[in-house]
């Protein structure tokens, strides 16, 4: 069980009930604890939230959908996977959140992601609620036809729960433009409707938005740069680490380079590549986005680069760390090494990539620790911009869309910073993000009555 030592006494019972009602869902317990740790001052100031049991209601999803996904591989063998969609909270808009295909997916992972999504979406200022979905299907090594058959089977059940005014999924780990395309096609076939706003992350030729692939990485980098600005600093000239080598990591590296920083390492599930002179982004894009190869192959092209199988990227000295792979990839020991080696800022491109011990180390060291629910909100913000374009039957330029994204991320940073300041903890972005995100949703729930 997650330690609740820092949680206000009034909220202890709520957390204990969450654990009891959701046994074994450790990631979800961790996400709830992290939010409840910061809400004591809010409920003291607004006792109505406790009287109306807003926190208990916000911790209980409005709907949890679990279903069977049968599909056939290229050899004719039948496989059975499990699909999930947790429609967590629709107080400020339709459910919005990605779909993840990965063997680690189970209900607890989807609930932790959906719970985080409530507050992240609230921070964007866009009218979108929180949800998340996925399956324990592993897309690695599968042919395009196998991916298509799986996606079609997955959406054949899920489609009845979706809609541009109900629930709007996007991509996540294991789900990119290819998978969104197959799911959208099957949704259109089943409903006989061209409902562009029902899925985001679509192809540019059929309703997608420019900047969507870049949005999470770009947004996280903008947020970190703003956090450095308030300390009279910037990313210019900084040595950076970016874990992962998927969509989020690639475009984090790209924006860091554009802002004058130097990324020297990235990774995948097999190991770490270190290139002291700076990563060759064009090569990483070719290996990962085009050829779908492992990051180890990078060393074949650059003899001065070093690949370490099963290596720990956080042992490499840096000034800025951007965890962009998966949850709980930085523990207390990793965080201590980063701080010792001179790290001054951490920007979470992934969802909950730092465990509670790691967060404590960063906060005790007073570095600029930028939590995922604020820092990586650029992806869902640009998904909402895609929904706007779909609703208007319009398409914006790259420059126009990126300008809107930057404005949103600057606004999120400002909101988190000011909220933390208001509650007496200037620079605590965890507290600022949680409280600012919570209040907007809580007030909407109060306004809607007991539902």
CB contact at 8 A, 169 and 98: yes
Q: Are 42 and 123 in contact (CB under 8 A)?
A: no
Marked catalytic residue, from 6, 10, 53, 132: 132
First to last CA, the chain: 30
Tell me which residue of 151, 12, 16, 162 sits closest to 96, measured CA to CA.
162
Q: How many CB atoms lie within 10 A of CB 297?
A: 15
Q: DSSP alpha helices (H): ranges in 192-306?
A: 215-229, 247-258, 281-285, 298-301
Binding residues: 96, 117, 120, 171, 216, 247, 383
d(Cα 282, Cα 275) in Å, to the nearest integer? 14
- Assess contact for 331 and 357: CB atoms under 8 A: yes
- Cβ contacts of residue 289 below 8 Å, gap of 6+? 250
Residue 176 exposed, middle or buried by CB count within 10 Å (0-12, 13-18, 19+): middle
Paired tokens of 9: 């006494």
Catalytic residue flag (residue 132): yes
Angle among Cα 120, 121, 127 to the nearest 5 degrees reads 160
Please state the residue numbers annotated as binding site for substrate. Answer: 96, 117, 120, 171, 383
* Residues that constitute the known binding site for NAD(+): 216, 247
CB-based contact 374:433 (threshold 8 Å): yes
**DSSP letters of 174-215?**
TB-HHHHHHHHHHHHHHH----GGGSSS--GGGT--TTTTTH
DSSP state of 52: T
- Residue 240, H or E segment: strand 239-242
| Paired strand residues for 320 | 240, 345
Euclidean distance between CA atoms 301 and 163, whole angstroms: 46
Residues 433 and 246: their CA atoms lie apart, in Å, by: 26
DSSP state of 227: H
Alpha-carbon distance of 249 to 298, in angstroms, equals: 15
Annotated catalytic residues are: 132
């Amino acid at each position: 069980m997650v330690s609740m030592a820092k949680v206000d006494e009034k909220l202890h019972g709520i957390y204990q009930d969450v654990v009891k009602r959701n046994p074994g869902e450790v990631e979800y317990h961790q996400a709830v604890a992290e939010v409840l740790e910061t809400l004591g001052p809010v409920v003291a100031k607004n006792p109505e939230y406790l009287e109306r049991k807003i926190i208990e209601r916000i911790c209980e999803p409005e709907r949890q959908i679990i279903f069977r996904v049968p599909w056939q591989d290229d050899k004719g063998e039948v496989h059975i996977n499990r699909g999930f969609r947790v429609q967590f909270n629709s107080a400020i808009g339709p459910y919005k959140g990605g779909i993840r295909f990965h063997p680690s997916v189970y209900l607890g992972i989807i609930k932790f992601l959906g719970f985080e999504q409530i507050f992240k979406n609230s921070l964007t200022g866009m009218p979108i609620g929180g949800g998340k979905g996925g399956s324990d299907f592993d897309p690695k090594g599968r042919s395009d036809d196998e991916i298509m058959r799986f996606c079609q089977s997955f959406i054949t059940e899920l489609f009845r729960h979706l809609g541009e005014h109900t629930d709007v999924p996007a991509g996540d780990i294991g789900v990119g433009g290819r998978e969104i395309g197959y799911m959208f096609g099957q949704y259109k076939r089943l409903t006989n409707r061209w409902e562009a706003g029902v899925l985001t992350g679509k192809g540019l030729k059929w309703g997608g938005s420019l900047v969507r692939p870049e949005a999470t990485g770009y947004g996280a980098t903008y947020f970190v740069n703003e956090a450095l600005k308030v300390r009279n600093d910037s990313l210019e000239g900084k040595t950076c680490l970016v874990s992962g080598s998927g969509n989020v990591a690639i475009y984090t590296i790209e924006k860091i380079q554009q802002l004058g920083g130097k990324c020297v390492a990235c990774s995948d599930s097999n190991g770490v590549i270190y290139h002291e002179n700076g990563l060759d982004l064009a090569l990483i894009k070719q290996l990962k986005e085009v050829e779908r190869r492992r990051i180890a192959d990078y060393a074949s092209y650059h003899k001065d680069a070093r690949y370490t199988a099963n290596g720990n990227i956080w042992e490499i000295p840096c000034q800025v760390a951007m965890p962009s792979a998966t949850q709980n990839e930085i523990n207390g020991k990793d965080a201590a090494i980063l701080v010792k080696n001179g790290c001054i800022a951490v920007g979470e491109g992934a969802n909950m990539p730092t465990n509670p011990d790691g967060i404590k180390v960063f906060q005790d060291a007073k570095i600029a620790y930028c939590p995922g629910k604020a820092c990586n909100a650029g992806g869902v913000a640009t998904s909402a911009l895609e929904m706007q374009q779909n609703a208007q039957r319009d398409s914006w330029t790259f420059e126009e869309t990126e300008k809107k994204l930057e404005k949103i991320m600057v606004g999120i940073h400002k909101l988190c910073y000011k909220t933390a300041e208001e509650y007496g903890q200037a620079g605590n972005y965890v507290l600022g993000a949680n409280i600012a995100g919570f209040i907007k949703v809580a007030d909407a729930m109060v306004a809607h009555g007991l539902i």
